[in-house]
Amino acid sequence: MSTVNIEPLLLHCRRGNSRYRSASKLFKLSSLSAFPNKVELHGRSFCNFKPPRALTLRAASADTAVVATSDSKPFFKETFPLNRTEMVEGKIFVRLDHGKSARNWVLTVGCTLPGKWILHWGVSLVDDVGSEWDQPPDEMRPPGSIPIKDYAIETPLKKSSSSVGGDTSQEVKIDLNLDGAIAAINFVLKDEETGAWYQHRGRDFKVPLVGYLQEDGNVVGAKKGLGIFPGAVGKLSDMLHKAESSNSQEQDSGSESRETKPETRSLEGFYEELPIVKQIAVVNSVTVSVRKCPETAKNLLYLETDLPDHVVVHWGVCKDDAKRWEIPAAPHPPETLVFKDKALRTRLQQKEGGNGCWGLFTLEEGPAGFLFVFKLSESTWLKCMGNDFYIPLSSSNKSPAVPRVDQSEGAQSEGANVPDRSAEEIEETSFTEYTNGIINEIRTLVSGISSEKRRKTKSKEAQESILQEIEKLAAEAYSIFRSTVPTFTEEAILESEELLPSVKILSGTGTGFEILCQGFNWESHKSGRWYMELKDKAAELSSLGFTVIWFPPPTDSVSPEGYMPRDLYNLNSRYGTVDELKEAVRAFHDVGIKVLGDAVLNHRCAQYQNQNGVWNIFGGRLNWDDRAVVADDPHFQGRGNKSSGDSFHAAPNIDHSQDFVRKDIKEWLCWLRQEIGYDGWRLDFVRGFWGGYVKDYMDASEPYFAVGEYWDSLSYTYGEMEHNQDAHRQRIIDWINATSGAAGAFDVTTKGILHAALERCEYWRLSDQKGKPPGVVGWWPSRAVTFIENHDTGSTQGHWRFPNGKEIQGYAYTLTHPGTPAVFYDHIFSHYRSEIAGLISLRNRNKINCRSTVKITKAERDVYAAIIDERVAMKIGPGHYEPPNGPQRWSKSLEGRDYKVWEAA
């Protein structure tokens, strides 16, 4: 079996488990191989003590050695965590045994590694020719099994009462009845905590119950001589006879027909083991203490760790705050080597009993600090939160050992993962004070703007101007400091609780308290008077608590739905006339609801053909020629520049790098704002062009609220969604950032993860590796527009329909969490209406907004629970959860199928 490595699990242990073979134990330190196994302590090697004050080592316990000197107490002592990953080896075992009767067998599949394991399995039927799985009959399904669509079953492994190879294992047992027509059991093993799959030689595991399957490369147990169970012989013989008859017709008439008969022999039991390797996270620790030698005034630094086996310490000293690595004066501990005249390497000694290592260092007076990192192998280093450990060597400097930004040249040239060194370093305590100072200033400023006194002395325009600058600076800071995974979140930019919803923070982002209604579906154009139908529902939607409504595309269009726009200034569409559109917008304004126009900026359908018969010449007020079309769209032969995004192949993709194109689009958007009264935009297919152009358009049109549709595929393996969707989320965040935060985006990541969590009963997916909501809402909530369905995914198109019957669970999530929630028109005017209304009312009552805080309290297989702003607690899923009563008491407010919501009393 080919072994598979997966991402580290959230599995923490104090020290390596001796039951598992650690890959870290396999490396060899060739440069230190000549070192003796034990250390001999000589006075001259550490501190020249004078009798009777000789330095001695004594064992405080079986695991701990301490340095004992009379009248000497440590002036520094601290314990630090050591986070590392370790490869552990185990095995998957498959066993087939006789059951209670001759026709009954039991298939056992298990694993010896820790984790939450799921057996994803199905059956192959005798008369099936292809490789498709089928669900097994009900009587074969172990307790706790969950059907996956119509082709598989998922069964959790449970702790085994027996041991395999001395290890406590997990396993699942499947009862087989040989009177059926099942040819094979197919399965893969899935780690529920990470979503990783374990296969056999890159394919499904297959346990054949018929002989003709034994030649497959992914078969388990074939060498045991599996035969054909009695109930399958007739069907299999018929199938092979038909196949042979067909082949014989193609042979020469003189050739003899070869009769193929399946070998019939009884089913035999077997036991087979296959290796498996898994990467886990391990937390060790190191304790460092420093004391003065009373006789010599030298510093005695004692270091001990529970890291397994002998460990090498890469170390040096520094003279001042520059923290440049230097080699200290001799004597040095035994088993010490000089590394390139920049640092020292000392192999630690194993503690009695083998549970960890220790080292003793004698240091002359003068150096300000002791610097070190652990070297486990040529490519594996352990540091303090990613940087060097720093230990003060003076009792007057008792600052803790904290991460350092600067590092000396001491180990720069060895290995890709050698600690980097630089000449400038800021202690984390100073860094924390610095950042906290800035954050407090921002909070004070925002609180001051919102205070009653300031509201009396400052104009609304001044308040808005200051808040806009804060958000712009936040977006700029994010742009500078972000990496492949965002390192900046909005938790550092908080409005005070007194911030009024009427204060607009930044053009395009609203107040933060918006609730969006999508005001149409895929069939709405068919009425011919949709604007008037919406107008009649304005008061009703306002009473439900909606503050923003999204109207369909208004322009003349080749497609009746409006998404193939042609003449942008012609607003007579299948939804109604331009006058009806204005009337509907006014009706919503009268009830306090803002209106978003659906702006299709990526592509535009041409009215005329060029000399080659290609449709790339536009008419109407914006009579562009083929320079407005991108050059790399082969269907439309544009003469513009290359596209800055993905192509929309059904219509000419517009080249937004052209000055005349941007000028015309900005004028058009401003005209729509003034002429129609739109308050903002829903931007279609923004994957097609750079977000920087969107910023230009937003700056010109100054919308109240804007949201882009950045929709691409999530990550899937084996047809199932992967647990880690950080890359998908990052692409959306990158687009938002390209707009400088001037527009939000639909949180497609969250929708996709909700699909998998609710459909497969895998609610653990709703917490990422950092314990945050895994979608955009967990990282940039004020720019995340959460939704579960829209005109594309649901309605009559159904491109990506939300799990049937789970819609209210989805809304229980989006309407209680930060971000700006959007509700689909079809769901509002359905049997879900009252429950959606209740959730909206609860959101408004508790002032949940796009920047509310989320504390995930439970994310397990069958339940997800969270507390929002310490005011609302919620859970979705069939599992049990009750919020803990602490400073606040909780009272249940809403309850429905697999969801509950509580409010703080």
Q: Quote the Cα angle for 601-603-604, to 5°.
A: 100
Please spell the DSSP secondary structure of 4-72, one letter per residue.
Answer: ---PPBS---SS--TTSEEGGGS---GGGTTS-SS----HHHH--PPTT---EEEESSSS-EEEE-TT-
Cβ(775)–Cβ(733) under 8 Å? Answer: no
Distance from the first to the final alpha carbon of the chain = 57
How far is the C-alpha of 153 from the C-alpha of 171, rounded, in Å?
Answer: 15
User: CB atoms < 10 A from the CB of 763, how many?
Assistant: 26
Residue 684 known to be catalytic: yes
Amino acid at 379: S
At 256 the three-state DSSP class reads coil
Max Cα distance, the chain (Å): 109
Q: What are the angstrom distances between the C-alpha of 558 and each of 531, 564, 688, 836?
A: 19, 5, 19, 35
Residue 709 known to be catalytic: yes
How far is the C-alpha of 528 from the C-alpha of 248, rounded, in Å?
Answer: 64
Torsion sign across C-alpha atoms 80, 85, 87, 91: positive
**Would you state the structure tokens that stand for residue 475, as one six-digit string?**
């977006």
How far is the C-alpha of 519 from the C-alpha of 541, rounded, in Å?
Answer: 10
Q: Catalytic one among 425, 427, 428, 709?
A: 709
**Would you state the structure tokens that stand for residue 514, as one six-digit string?**
């918006």
**Would you state the structure tokens that stand for residue 746, as one six-digit string?**
């639909």
Cβ(183)–Cβ(213) under 8 Å? Answer: yes
Nearest to 334 by CA among 342, 350, 325, 345: 345
| Cα dihedral: 696, 697, 701, 704 (round 10) | -100
Please spell the DSSP secondary structure of 770-804, one letter per residue.
Answer: TSS-SSGGGT-GGGEEE-S--TTTSTTT-TTPPPT
How far is the C-alpha of 217 from the C-alpha of 201, rounded, in Å?
Answer: 8
Nearest to 781 by CA among 869, 875, 901: 869
At 638 the three-state DSSP class reads coil
Q: Catalytic one among 428, 514, 580, 684?
A: 684
How far is the C-alpha of 90 from the C-alpha of 109, rounded, in Å?
Answer: 14
At 434 the three-state DSSP class reads helix
DSSP state of 247: H
Cβ(180)–Cβ(159) under 8 Å? Answer: no
How far is the C-alpha of 202 from the C-alpha of 196, rounded, in Å?
Answer: 13
Supply the residues annotated as catalytic: 684, 709
